[in-house]
Protein backbone atom coordinates (compact mmCIF):
# COMPACT_ATOMS: atom_id res chain seq x y z
CA UNK A 1 0.00 0.00 0.00
CA UNK A 2 1.30 3.42 -0.92
CA UNK A 3 1.09 6.35 1.49
CA UNK A 4 1.67 9.92 0.33
CA UNK A 5 2.56 12.69 2.76
CA UNK A 6 2.79 16.43 2.17
CA UNK A 7 5.08 18.26 4.59
CA UNK A 8 5.79 21.96 4.91
CA UNK A 9 7.41 23.18 8.09
CA UNK A 10 5.91 21.45 11.13
CA UNK A 11 2.66 20.51 9.34
CA UNK A 12 2.56 17.02 7.87
CA UNK A 13 -0.56 15.73 6.10
CA UNK A 14 -1.31 12.21 4.87
CA UNK A 15 -3.48 12.07 1.75
CA UNK A 16 -6.64 10.17 2.72
CA UNK A 17 -6.79 8.09 -0.47
CA UNK A 18 -3.79 6.96 -2.49
CA UNK A 19 -4.06 8.13 -6.13
CA UNK A 20 -4.76 5.43 -8.71
CA UNK A 21 -1.64 6.55 -10.59
CA UNK A 22 1.28 8.95 -10.18
CA UNK A 23 2.84 10.39 -13.31
CA UNK A 24 6.43 11.65 -13.30
CA UNK A 25 7.70 13.52 -16.35
CA UNK A 26 11.27 14.66 -16.99
CA UNK A 27 11.56 17.16 -19.80
CA UNK A 28 14.49 17.02 -22.22
CA UNK A 29 16.69 20.09 -22.57
CA UNK A 30 18.72 18.70 -25.47
CA UNK A 31 19.23 21.09 -28.35
CA UNK A 32 19.39 20.18 -32.03
CA UNK A 33 21.77 22.30 -34.14
CA UNK A 34 22.74 22.23 -37.79
CA UNK A 35 26.43 22.40 -38.68
CA UNK A 36 27.42 23.35 -42.22
CA UNK A 37 28.91 20.46 -44.23
CA UNK A 38 28.15 18.05 -41.39
CA UNK A 39 24.43 18.02 -40.76
CA UNK A 40 22.20 18.00 -37.73
CA UNK A 41 23.60 17.28 -34.26
CA UNK A 42 21.88 16.80 -30.93
CA UNK A 43 23.63 18.55 -28.05
CA UNK A 44 23.05 16.84 -24.71
CA UNK A 45 21.92 19.06 -21.85
CA UNK A 46 21.13 18.30 -18.24
CA UNK A 47 17.52 17.16 -17.76
CA UNK A 48 14.87 19.68 -16.80
CA UNK A 49 12.94 19.74 -13.56
CA UNK A 50 10.72 16.75 -12.91
CA UNK A 51 6.95 17.21 -13.01
CA UNK A 52 4.72 15.02 -10.83
CA UNK A 53 0.97 14.87 -11.32
CA UNK A 54 -1.85 12.82 -9.87
CA UNK A 55 -5.54 13.05 -9.03
CA UNK A 56 -6.59 12.49 -5.43
CA UNK A 57 -9.99 11.84 -3.89
CA UNK A 58 -10.89 13.91 -0.82
CA UNK A 59 -13.76 11.94 0.75
CA UNK A 60 -16.51 13.62 2.70
CA UNK A 61 -16.93 10.56 4.94
CA UNK A 62 -14.81 7.70 6.27
CA UNK A 63 -14.99 4.99 3.62
CA UNK A 64 -13.35 1.61 4.25
CA UNK A 65 -10.39 2.51 1.99
CA UNK A 66 -9.65 5.88 3.62
CA UNK A 67 -6.24 6.18 5.29
CA UNK A 68 -6.08 8.09 8.57
CA UNK A 69 -3.64 8.35 11.43
CA UNK A 70 -6.28 8.65 14.10
CA UNK A 71 -7.79 11.87 12.72
CA UNK A 72 -10.17 12.17 9.78
CA UNK A 73 -9.88 15.50 7.97
CA UNK A 74 -12.78 16.90 5.96
CA UNK A 75 -12.05 17.90 2.32
CA UNK A 76 -11.99 21.55 3.38
CA UNK A 77 -8.81 20.88 5.37
CA UNK A 78 -6.92 19.76 2.25
CA UNK A 79 -8.43 22.42 -0.01
CA UNK A 80 -7.26 25.09 2.42
CA UNK A 81 -3.85 23.41 2.51
CA UNK A 82 -3.49 23.54 -1.28
CA UNK A 83 -4.58 27.17 -1.27
CA UNK A 84 -1.92 27.99 1.32
CA UNK A 85 0.77 26.15 -0.69
CA UNK A 86 0.00 28.36 -3.68
CA UNK A 87 -0.20 31.57 -1.66
CA UNK A 88 3.04 30.94 0.25
CA UNK A 89 5.08 30.00 -2.83
CA UNK A 90 7.35 27.84 -0.67
CA UNK A 91 8.51 24.28 -1.37
CA UNK A 92 6.65 21.26 -0.05
CA UNK A 93 8.17 17.87 0.69
CA UNK A 94 6.35 15.22 -1.33
CA UNK A 95 7.03 11.95 0.47
CA UNK A 96 5.97 8.59 -0.95
CA UNK A 97 6.18 5.37 1.08
CA UNK A 98 5.79 2.24 -1.02
CA UNK A 99 4.82 -1.05 0.64
CA UNK A 100 3.79 -4.20 -1.25
CA UNK A 101 0.73 -6.29 -0.39
CA UNK A 102 2.91 -8.79 1.53
CA UNK A 103 4.22 -6.01 3.77
CA UNK A 104 7.59 -5.62 2.05
CA UNK A 105 8.67 -1.99 1.89
CA UNK A 106 10.42 -0.96 -1.30
CA UNK A 107 12.13 2.31 -2.19
CA UNK A 108 10.61 5.52 -0.92
CA UNK A 109 10.63 8.96 -2.48
CA UNK A 110 11.24 12.36 -0.93
CA UNK A 111 11.34 15.40 -3.16
CA UNK A 112 10.97 19.13 -2.61
CA UNK A 113 8.31 20.45 -4.98
CA UNK A 114 6.23 23.52 -5.72
CA UNK A 115 2.51 23.27 -6.40
CA UNK A 116 2.15 24.52 -9.97
CA UNK A 117 -1.63 24.28 -10.33
CA UNK A 118 -4.61 22.22 -9.24
CA UNK A 119 -8.20 21.64 -10.39
CA UNK A 120 -11.08 20.78 -8.07
CA UNK A 121 -14.01 18.71 -9.38
CA UNK A 122 -17.31 17.78 -7.73
CA UNK A 123 -19.25 14.92 -9.31
CA UNK A 124 -22.99 14.40 -9.28
CA UNK A 125 -24.01 11.53 -7.03
CA UNK A 126 -20.85 11.86 -4.91
CA UNK A 127 -22.05 14.55 -2.52
CA UNK A 128 -19.40 15.72 -0.11
CA UNK A 129 -16.54 14.16 -2.08
CA UNK A 130 -14.03 16.22 -4.06
CA UNK A 131 -11.57 15.15 -6.77
CA UNK A 132 -8.43 17.28 -7.04
CA UNK A 133 -5.99 17.09 -9.92
CA UNK A 134 -2.57 18.34 -8.76
CA UNK A 135 0.55 19.21 -10.73
CA UNK A 136 3.85 19.65 -8.92
CA UNK A 137 7.30 20.63 -10.15
CA UNK A 138 10.64 19.76 -8.61
CA UNK A 139 12.14 22.61 -6.57
CA UNK A 140 15.77 23.64 -6.80
CA UNK A 141 16.41 26.65 -4.59
CA UNK A 142 19.00 29.30 -5.29
CA UNK A 143 21.17 29.95 -2.25
CA UNK A 144 21.48 33.51 -0.99
CA UNK A 145 24.87 34.35 0.56
CA UNK A 146 25.57 37.45 2.63
CA UNK A 147 28.94 39.17 2.49
CA UNK A 148 30.74 41.82 4.53
CA UNK A 149 33.43 44.12 3.15
CA UNK A 150 36.84 44.05 4.80
CA UNK A 151 39.55 46.54 3.83
CA UNK A 152 43.22 45.96 4.55
CA UNK A 153 46.18 47.79 3.00
CA UNK A 154 43.91 49.59 0.58
CA UNK A 155 42.48 46.31 -0.71
CA UNK A 156 38.80 45.43 -0.24
CA UNK A 157 37.73 41.82 0.17
CA UNK A 158 34.26 40.30 0.42
CA UNK A 159 33.96 37.95 3.39
CA UNK A 160 31.16 35.39 3.35
CA UNK A 161 28.99 35.54 6.46
CA UNK A 162 26.89 32.88 8.18
CA UNK A 163 27.63 29.60 9.82
CA UNK A 164 28.18 26.64 7.57
CA UNK A 165 25.96 23.65 8.17
CA UNK A 166 27.72 20.83 9.96
CA UNK A 167 28.74 18.15 7.53
CA UNK A 168 30.10 14.68 8.08
CA UNK A 169 32.97 13.11 6.21
CA UNK A 170 31.68 10.48 3.78
CA UNK A 171 32.51 6.91 4.79
CA UNK A 172 33.19 5.82 1.20
CA UNK A 173 30.27 3.59 0.22
CA UNK A 174 26.83 2.69 1.54
CA UNK A 175 24.69 -0.37 0.85
CA UNK A 176 21.00 0.46 0.45
CA UNK A 177 18.65 -1.26 2.89
CA UNK A 178 14.88 -1.83 2.69
CA UNK A 179 12.97 1.39 3.38
CA UNK A 180 15.92 3.65 2.55
CA UNK A 181 15.60 6.79 0.48
CA UNK A 182 18.38 9.14 -0.66
CA UNK A 183 17.21 11.93 1.64
CA UNK A 184 17.49 9.69 4.73
CA UNK A 185 20.86 8.32 3.59
CA UNK A 186 22.26 11.83 3.05
CA UNK A 187 20.95 12.91 6.45
CA UNK A 188 22.42 9.90 8.25
CA UNK A 189 25.74 9.58 6.40
CA UNK A 190 26.51 13.19 5.47
CA UNK A 191 24.60 15.07 8.16
CA UNK A 192 22.47 16.96 5.64
CA UNK A 193 19.43 15.50 3.88
CA UNK A 194 19.48 18.17 1.17
CA UNK A 195 22.74 16.67 -0.16
CA UNK A 196 20.80 13.72 -1.62
CA UNK A 197 21.25 15.22 -5.10
CA UNK A 198 25.05 14.99 -4.69
CA UNK A 199 24.75 11.26 -4.02
CA UNK A 200 22.42 10.86 -7.00
CA UNK A 201 24.80 12.69 -9.36
CA UNK A 202 27.86 10.85 -8.05
CA UNK A 203 26.19 7.50 -8.72
CA UNK A 204 24.57 8.41 -12.04
CA UNK A 205 21.04 8.12 -10.64
CA UNK A 206 18.66 10.02 -12.92
CA UNK A 207 15.63 9.59 -10.64
CA UNK A 208 16.58 10.13 -6.94
CA UNK A 209 13.42 8.32 -5.82
CA UNK A 210 14.50 5.04 -7.45
CA UNK A 211 17.05 3.16 -5.36
CA UNK A 212 16.94 -0.53 -4.44
CA UNK A 213 18.01 -2.76 -1.53
CA UNK A 214 21.52 -4.10 -2.06
CA UNK A 215 22.55 -1.19 -4.29
CA UNK A 216 26.01 0.15 -3.37
CA UNK A 217 26.29 3.94 -3.38
CA UNK A 218 29.48 6.00 -3.51
CA UNK A 219 29.43 8.83 -0.97
**What are the chain's domains?**
2-138 (2.40.30.200), 166-218 (3.10.350.10)
Quote the pTM value: 0.61
pLDDT of 31 above 60: yes
Q: What is the mean pLDDT of residues 188-193?
A: 82
- Mind listing the pLDDT tens digit for each residue in 73-100? 999 999 999 999 999 889 999 988 888 7
Specify which of 104-108, 116-120, 200-204 reaches the highest per-range mean pLDDT. Answer: 116-120
Q: DSSP per residue over the chain, as a string?
A: -EEEEEEETTEEEE-SS--S--EEEE----EEEEETTTEEEEE------EEEEEEEEE-SS--TT---SS-PPPHHHHHHHHHHHHHHT--EEEEEEEB-TTS-B---EEEEEEEEEEEEE--TT-TT-EEEEEEEEE--PPPP--EEEEEETTEEEEEE-SPPPP-PPP-SEEE--TT--HHHHHHHHHS-GGGHHHHHHHTT-SSTT---TT-EEE-
The pLDDT, as a whole number, for residue 74 is: 95
Residue 168: the pLDDT is: 55
Split at pLDDT 50, 70, 90, the class of 180 is confident
Confidence at residue 133, expressed as pLDDT on a 0 to 100 scale: 97
In this prediction, residues 200-207 reach a mean pLDDT of 86
Amino acid sequence: MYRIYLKQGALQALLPVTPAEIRTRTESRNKAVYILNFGEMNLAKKPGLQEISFTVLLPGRVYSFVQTEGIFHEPEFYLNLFREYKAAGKPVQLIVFRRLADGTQIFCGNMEVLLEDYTVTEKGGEQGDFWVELRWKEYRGAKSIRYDMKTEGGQTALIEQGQARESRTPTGTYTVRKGDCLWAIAKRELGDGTRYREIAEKNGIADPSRIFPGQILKL
